[in-house]
Amino acid sequence: MKLKQRVVLLAILLVIFIFTKVFLIDNLDTSAAHREDQRAFQRMLAGLRVALEPRLEHTLQSPWEIAAQWVVPREVYPEDTPELGAVMHAMSTKKIIKADVGYKGTQLKALLILEGGQKVVFKPKRYARDYIVEGEPYAGYDRHNAEVAAFHLDRILGFRRAPLVVGRFVNLRTEIKPVATEQLLGTFMTVGNNTCFYGKCYYCRETEPACADGDIMEGSVTLWLPDVWPLQKHRHPWGRTYREGKLARWEYDESYCDAVKKTSPYDSGPRLLDIIDTAIFDYLIGNADRHHYESFQDDEGASMLILLDNAK
């Protein structure tokens, strides 16, 4: 082999060696980074995992008293508490002592009082868990499992602005009807072999009841915030019009954001940042129906935007 050929061959081998070396080092670095990512992910999962157990640690208070003490202007529940699982367990198991029609709104819900006097909101199952509603983004009934998923996403993102939500099965015949008010009881009916009710709301109709599987109904239970923290409703500055062919101002006015930033409560404090957080939150849960939002009353824009009604 001539010298020139040997030099070329040596150069080729050297290049192959260098690329191999770099590739191996990169792989090692990537593997190490991947392992660290996996460990961080497992630590996060461990921190988010909640055991639904009835026992309360280090306290003689009821789960309802504990949950009420958690609420402060910028969070509904703390980042880390050993009592979270016990409160959620109580929500899913405590005896129902009263049932009434839900608070005013567009969607069917029931207001339940659990043993110990705690109010919760029950949203019945209207669709299978994996059912996709076609049509407008805000079309269809509320989805009970969307409320559950939204609460856990709120925990993952570290917002802690959504009230606690759990899934629960209730027996409409034995748990609800015996303690129901006349107003709620008057909306019960039987469809085939299934117990159903249609409640009272803007869009509640006798022709569109929510039906159990026999007597057993799946739904979501949302913890009512303490009465010492009254809520104030605000129109969302980026709400839609809900009218075909009519655009909201933010959809055509490029100066709209500047105008919002000069308007109270968005001209100071954290409210505008909360709006941005909520936009990300709504995108992730697929909620296109945030036409209003709630904060604590008389807060002058200092409290959080509370993530209520996340079932769209």
What was the pLDDT predicted at 41?
Answer: 67
With bands split at pLDDT 50, 70 and 90, how would you rate the model's confidence at 18? low
Same domain as 79, residue 194: yes
What was the pLDDT predicted at 130?
Answer: 87
Same domain as 170, residue 127: yes
Question: Does the annotation list 308 as a binding residue?
Answer: no
Top pLDDT among 81 and 33 is at: 81
- Structure tokens of 85? 């699982």
Question: Does the annotation list 142 as a binding residue?
Answer: yes
What was the pLDDT predicted at 7?
Answer: 47
- Structure tokens of 7? 């030099």
Residue 28 lies in a domain: no
Question: Does the annotation list 130 as a binding residue?
Answer: no
What was the pLDDT predicted at 134?
Answer: 87
With bands split at pLDDT 50, 70 and 90, how would you rate the model's confidence at 14? low
Last residue of a domain, one of 189, 223, 257: 223
User: What average pLDDT does the chain have?
Assistant: 88
SS3 content of the chain, % helix, strand, coil (to 5): 35, 20, 45
Residue 57 lies in a domain: no
Same domain as 259, residue 179: no
CA end-to-end span of the chain: 76
Q: 3-class DSSP state for residue 191?
A: strand
Same domain as 176, residue 260: no
What lies within 8 Å, CB to CB, of 147 at 6+ separation is 123, 165, 220, 222, 310, 311
Neighbours of 114 (CB within 10 A): 22
Residue 51 lies in a domain: no
- Structure tokens of 242? 């809900």
Same domain as 112, residue 248: no
pLDDT tens per residue across span 183-224: 999 999 999 999 999 999 998 999 999 999 999 999 999 999
Q: How far is CA 201 from CA 21, 62, 98, 236, 241, in A?
A: 69, 32, 19, 22, 21
Pairing, β 110-114 against β 118-124: antiparallel
In angstroms, the CA 200 to CA 60 distance is: 38
Residue 22 has pLDDT above 60, yes or no: no
Last residue of a domain, one of 223, 246, 276: 223
What lies within 8 Å, CB to CB, of 194 at 6+ separation is 211, 212, 213, 214
Question: Does the annotation list 277 as a binding residue?
Answer: no
Q: Report how many domains make up the chain.
A: 2
pLDDT tens per residue across span 68-123: 999 999 999 999 888 999 999 999 999 999 999 998 888 999 999 999 999 999 99
Q: Supply the range of the domain harboring residue 243.
A: 231-306
In angstroms, the CA 273 to CA 105 distance is: 27
Question: Does the annotation list 222 as a binding residue?
Answer: yes
In angstroms, the CA 224 to CA 308 distance is: 10
Q: Please give the positions annotated as active site.
A: 289
Q: How far is CA 193 from CA 110, 174, 190, 196, 212, in A?
A: 22, 15, 7, 10, 9
Question: Does the annotation list 61 as a binding residue?
Answer: no
In angstroms, the CA 304 to CA 269 distance is: 10
Residue type, 243: R
Question: Does the annotation list 111 as a binding residue?
Answer: no
What was the pLDDT predicted at 31?
Answer: 77
In angstroms, the CA 280 to CA 274 distance is: 10
Which pTM does this prediction carry?
0.84
DSSP 229: S
Pairing, β 194-197 against β 188-191: antiparallel
Same domain as 138, residue 110: yes
Residue 32 lies in a domain: no
CA 148-153-158 angle, 5° bins: 130
In angstroms, the CA 57 to CA 115 distance is: 20
Neighbours of 27 (CB within 10 A): 11
Residue 255 lies in a domain: yes
Residue 142 has pLDDT above 60, yes or no: yes
Last residue of a domain, one of 223, 256, 287: 223
